[in-house]
Chains A and B, each alone.
Chain A
Amino acid sequence: MTDAPSEFSAQDYKYGFSTAVEAETFGAGLDEAKIRRISRSRGEPQFLLDFRLKAYAVWRGMQPPEWASLHYPPIDYDGIQFFSQPKKSGDGTPAYASLADVPKEVLETFEKLGIPLDEQKRLSNVAVDAVFDSVSIATTHQQKLHDAGVIFCSFTEAVHSYPALIERWLGSVVPTADNYFAALNSAVFSDGSFVYIPPYTRCPLELSTYFRINNTEAGQFERTLIVCDEGAQVSYLEGCTAPKTSKHQLHAAVVELVAAQDADIKYSTVQNWYAGDPETGEGGVYNFVTKRGACRGARSRISWTQVEAGSAITWKYPSCILQGDDSVGEFYSVALTNGRMQADTGTKMIHLGRNTRSRIIAKGIAADRSQSTYRGLVQVARKAEGARNFTACDSMLVGKRAEARTYPYIDAQRDDAQIEHEASTSRLSEDQLFYLQARGLSEEDAVAAIVTGFCKDVLDELPLEFAAEARKLLTLKLENSVG
């Protein structure tokens, strides 16, 4: 293994560049002293240090999960840097006071990725929080959000400015001991985004966080918390990329959503972490993510939309706890795997309240020698009178060596629960592509037509600004596999 990002010729990953930025790290491996150091360097309040230490103790007593259809050698946690941030003329404060303090190379990195952060070039209708390795770089459109009473800032800033909110909600949806990776994240998380929407407020902008792993030795452990108060509404999108490296990078994030009565949260992800070498499987991000939303209030709604197109390994089950009566949970997913990628992803819909409804639309596209698994759980508690679920899982195989599996688990404690499940598997062949070309479509358009057709129900759920981008991403990836 080498330290420097290496160039792979077989497949073009256009976000594969690395930026030469001097990084400040605490060295590899993890112990209690390092956790104290992370916490101290960030000037964290005592409750947060306690939270971390407790999580660390829990994590040390846990084993990594083995039930997923994923194959990878044991992760060497002693070789990972758990904290990395671009070096700055250090006065010890955790975030950059203004864009002027951010290293030029870092700003250029985001610009290259299509996320300009400065006032002139930034996206006009999307507020962006940019996270580089472990640290939030800048959050745009602060004034407009402030006027609406919306809080959208880096987690670090939230810890300092709104400690009471953090203390109240952190770990309230994903308990520390929930699973191995959530426990690890709880111990070492560095930055991420915090959102609070006050009662009866419709967030005036799309909110977006852009995660970039730059340090090729570092893991990324971000933490996102979104609290949507009574009758409020927000749409949030995260995007992710990482440089090409021959080593595996660990990404273990936790996302918690809380929806009060009549609140509506839409959470979208376009994940394009580096997927590793398509031939050898060398390198690529290990993406072990815990995402969960709690529909605490009546008539609240949480909708997850994800386009998972990168990572060597994806282990991710964005879920909804449908506590409030008449609450609604939705999961719309496209998982595209190619090369040697492995994805085990799906959702959990936990029906606790009465007349709760959930809807699951999962599309898996597996190409080359990749493996794609849908794993979903629909649970209906005894009190959840009138609960309803609809699930549709469609798999598309490209070529002969890819594999797709579907594991829809149902655990209903009521006989009157209405649970519907549909599943299909189809195959994309060169003959299909030729057929479309013989009707006048270029190869690119032919692939795009197939992807768009297959994923339509999911892509339609993405905010407009990102739907075209996601379609392009999927088309590009798939073209490499069928072309």
Chain B
Amino acid sequence: MKITKQTVENVAMLSRLNIADNKMDKYIEEFSNFLEYVDVLQQVNTENIKPTAHVLPLQNVFREDIVKSSLSREAALANAPEQEDGYFKVPRIIE
């Protein structure tokens, strides 16, 4: 896959990142290198290998349905950039 300026811009938009114009070439190159490396990995024969769902040899880790105490509202909101009436306040959502 050919990485273009548009690809980088799209990935940045999806991740809510701003990428300065003078950094663009650097990112295009880095992205291309990542994908080239993935191409190398793609060459490994995985025919008889099960897909990995998790790296730990664990399964079925559950907890009982028992209520634990929650945070106080003050603590929950402590890191909120803005708050109002016990809510997290966020900027306008729709364009």
Q: Do A and B come from one complex?
A: no
